[in-house]
Amino acid sequence: MQLQDFKSCLAEVYQGEVVGESAFDNMLGVVENREQRYIVASLLQFETEAKAIMRPVLYQYELPVNDAAQGYATGQAASDDLNQLPWKDRFEALQNLIASQYLPRYEMLETLVDPSQNKQAAEVARFMAEHERRILKVMENIVRGVDNPAEPIVQLLSHPLPRFE
Ligand SMILES: [Fe+2]
């Protein structure tokens, strides 16, 4: 039973990444300056890298590794609405969404896998919980007006974007 729970939670978290990638891709179309572009492109990169990190474990459990068009459409539609909001309000809305809906599921994933049974899956689950906490931190930083708000995710990127001062 736990394996089924793990697999469905894993697939759900992966879909969350597809939705997030699509939403930040769409948001890049409405950035207003170089700083906003760096933040949103770094968020996009963070979601893309998370998909790559998760994909071997999805494959191992014979879950679909193609990006469901539905997830992409969901992300585009959600960000069409979000993008109407001013910059800080947009991230406050995202902060609330992540804290209430996404983070609990991402943190649950970790509890559904036994590291002695599958070390790689446990490491990916632990990484994804940290991934989502870092995203939440970036949203909080933007809302509070902290300098260099994307730093918590940039630290975890394997392929960070160049920063032009
Ligand atoms: Fe994500």
SS3 112: coil
pTM for the whole structure: 0.95
**Residue 8 CB partners (closer than 8 Å, separation 6+):** none
Question: Architecture of domain 2-154 in CATH?
Answer: Up-down Bundle (1.20)
SS3 86: coil
pLDDT below 70 — which residues of the chain? Answer: 1, 165
Q: What residues have their beta carbon closer than 5 A to ion ligand 1?
A: 17, 20, 47
In this predicted structure, what is the pLDDT of residue 1?
55
Ligand 1 center from residue 20 Cα (angstroms): 6
In this predicted structure, what is the pLDDT of residue 68?
74
In this predicted structure, what is the pLDDT of residue 115?
94
By the 10 Å C-beta count (0-12 exposed, 13-18 middle, 19+ buried), 46 is classed as: buried
Ligand 1 center from residue 35 Cα (angstroms): 20
In this predicted structure, what is the pLDDT of residue 100?
97
With both helix axes pointing from N to C terminus, report the angle between 87-97 and 119-144 in degrees, rounded to the nearest 10.
140
In this predicted structure, what is the pLDDT of residue 13?
97
CB 148 within 8 A of CB 40: no
Domain boundaries, the chain: 2-154
In this predicted structure, what is the pLDDT of residue 114?
93
pLDDT more than 70, % of the chain? 99
Terminal Cα-to-Cα distance of the chain (whole angstroms):
52
Ligand 1 center from residue 38 Cα (angstroms): 17
Instruction: Round to whole Å and give the CA distance between 30 and 7.
Output: 36
